[in-house]
Amino acid sequence: MENVTSVKTFILLGFSNAPHWQILFFVIFLCIYIATVLGNLLIIVLINVDSALSTPMYFFLRNLSFLEICYTSVTIPKLLDNILARDKTISLHACATQMYFFLFFGATECCLLAFMAYDRYVAICNPLCYPVIMRKSVCVQLAALSWTCGSLVAVGHTTFIFTLPFCDSNVINHFFCEIQPVLKLVCGDTYWNEIQIIGAAAFVILMPFMLILLSYFHIIATILRMKSAKSQQKAFSTCSSHLIVVSLFYGTAIFIYIRPKSSYSLNVDKLLSLFYSVITPILNPIIYSLRNKDVKKALKRTVLKLMSSK
């Protein structure tokens, strides 16, 4: 225990291993952040004002859009600040807070996406029971369950990691306070923490992912039995784009969280974690909503209404 120091600040390296690209990175991440916030805000506003979008699916989508705004706001603004700042330090408390909220929103998203897939499964495979199964109260409870699950995961991980002693090094080779790079700075044996991370990840990442795959398996089987080729094609194009985003999100998360610490390669991990922390939040509104005909119609109606009221 002799080289245990009381580390009070960490240094977030971000992408400073590519010093000539900093301005470009700044512009790209700024654009992505603005697009993510505006795209998701647009969806929330549309779902609120257009009465045609008051089905359970849009209740979940609005919740997802709200969640994506929160989720990206945890990492990207700090990353932008970090690119510009000379001083790349982050206090222990700020780091713990960032990790808490990142895990909170991330785990919530894992659960919410699964309930959204389940919602589609019931709507397509069991349309007669759909209004009964997906009552308003059930939707609210499922969404609340996602948020609760996310907060439990976040509290658990963050308190366990930040009560451990940190050693001399305080350099985090990542663009935010992600679990593995912080765990790497902990003194001594972190075997049980790793087991815990893998266990929790299996619970909040693998289980929802399985549920999603199962839902889409049934959905695709139902689509294949449809009579008209046109409705088949439409359903397929929706499903395949959902599956691509979902696989990108869960696939990279599974790769990052479910493996032993000895195999951490922080430079590769940093790039891979861009997929679940930055790229899927901007893809989700595009894939789930803006490609959707009902949303496009609602957008047109709302714009016309706004123009005629002027």
Ligand X SMILES: *[C@@H]1O[C@H](CO)[C@@H](O)[C@H](O)[C@H]1NC(C)=O
Q: Which residues bind ligand X (CB under 6 A)?
A: 62-63, 66, 140, 143-144, 147
Provide the minimum distance between the beta carbon of 144 and ligand X in the complex, in angstroms, as a whole number. 4
Provide the minimum distance between the beta carbon of 89 and ligand X in the complex, in angstroms, as a whole number. 34
Report the C-alpha gap between 161 and 142 in whole angstroms. Answer: 29
For the chain, count helices (H), then strands (E): 12, 3
Q: Between helices 191-201 and 229-257, what is the axis angle to 10°?
A: 170
**Residue number, 25 or 66, with CB nearest to ligand X:** 66
Provide the minimum distance between the beta carbon of 278 and ligand X in the complex, in angstroms, as a whole number. 21
CB 142 within 8 A of CB 103: no
Distance of CA 132 to the CA centre of its chain: 29
Provide the minimum distance between the beta carbon of 142 and ligand X in the complex, in angstroms, as a whole number. 8
**Residue number, 45 or 198, with CB nearest to ligand X:** 45
**Residue number, 90 or 117, with CB nearest to ligand X:** 117
Report the C-alpha gap between 183 and 139 in whole angstroms. Answer: 36
**Residue number, 41 or 254, with CB nearest to ligand X:** 41
Q: Using CB atoms, what's the residue nearest to ligand X?
A: 143
**Residue number, 147 or 255, with CB nearest to ligand X:** 147
Provide the minimum distance between the beta carbon of 108 and ligand X in the complex, in angstroms, as a whole number. 9
Pairing status of strand 9-12 against strand 89-91: antiparallel
Q: CA torsion, points 93, 99, 102, 107, in degrees to nearest 10?
A: -130
